[in-house]
Chains A and B, each alone.
Chain A
Amino acid sequence: MSKEFIKGNEAMAEAAVRGGCRFFAGYPITPQNDIPEYLSKRLFEVGGTFIQGESEIASINMVYGVAATGVRSMTSSSSPGLALKSEGISFIAGSRIPAVIINVARGGPALGTIQGAQQDYFASAKAIAPGGFRCFVVSPSTVQEAADLVYEAFEIADKYRTPVYVLTDGVIGNMMEIVELPPMRDPEEMLSSDAWRITKYNDDSSARQFSTYRPTGEMLTVDNIAMAELYEEWQEKEQRWEAFMMEDAEVVLTAYGSAGRIAKSAVKELRAQGIKAGLIRPITLFPFPNKAYENINYDKIDKIFVVEMSIPPQFVYDVELATKSQLDYININTSGGVIVETESIVDKVKESM
């Protein structure tokens, strides 16, 4: 397989095509613009459809409609654009339709900055929109992982009939790195949508339909219980993380996404200085990889360094839950599109040891 030196956004776009994506609708916003730009040309080469919608809201609803017919569909945007798409995502989740949503996040709130940041943690992993639903949320640390996760996202989406949300940021999106792109997936091998997708209208009113409105609380409760069971299944089966140099770690760092790769460098630098550091890097943000934190030796470890490009911090609350509030939580943060530096992580760890 050939390796390519390619931009994160383009790697995700190509991986989507190879993963079976045949419909994309989106609206321009920095720093995700390379995704629609790439797909505007590429999708037509594989018989797919690209639409630049008149707005974010139109785009996500096009994805809702097309995905309901069983076509693998995707949209992408950046933070404030996701705010506009949130209602549509709620409808997709409520209808139990598979789709892939990429957020190449930037600083916020509101328009914020266009530089990469991790200030959308709650808005991605916790509450994309009202109603208590969740997406299956993944967050890559490298361009390779971004491509691999987007590729797989379509399988996960089909398997669980859920929107899969790829939370990345302008750092990964705009960075070029060496990638081995996954192979073009054979449509024959993809999960069948025969059992659920909307087909043509039948006069005997046997046509399938999706509706997110339920006339009684009892009826909606049935849906809500099914969602809760789905999320429990993810918690059981789908937690993913990378444990880096954790076997003999005496100092534990934790970070996800772009901060995760920088924290990894910090761990290596600390090791080079004789400090036995280790890193827990969540890959799924929902389901959150609680199991990763169960392996910490709580008899010896009394604190954890939580590196996150968000002020105020957000990810730390999940770390605190996963570690059952047994540790001191030392936050190392930047915000607003400022990339956290390896040196400042190393310094902070050393002064707090």
Chain B
Amino acid sequence: MSLYQVQKLIYQLNRDPRTRQRYADECDAVLGEYDLTPEEIGALMKPDIGLLYVLGVNGQLLMHFAALHRIEWADYLERMRQGLREHGPVREGVYATTGYEGVAAHDARLKAERETR
């Protein structure tokens, strides 16, 4: 487990256009510069957003890594949920699962509340 290294690579990809270009041109070489496990390399290359979330990657890094791969917002959220189903609870980092009802149900409840004001 080397969450720090996974997050550092994503941090560099998010902020540095040259790292992004190198990652596109020579992905293996860039990955080789970080101390990553085979599971982490697989998750980054696929990319397996759900597994990266379960590994503990901070969402403030992960959502931009998803955007880099043109993964739309709702799909990004669903991939994390899928990751929890496939790989179990988040293993490390700042997250815990809290049983949220979801945006659609939440919106419907707020709309009903607004209408009764």
Answer yes or no: do A and B interact: no
B residues lining the A interface (CB < 8 Å): none
Give the B-binding residues of A (Cβ under 8 A).
none
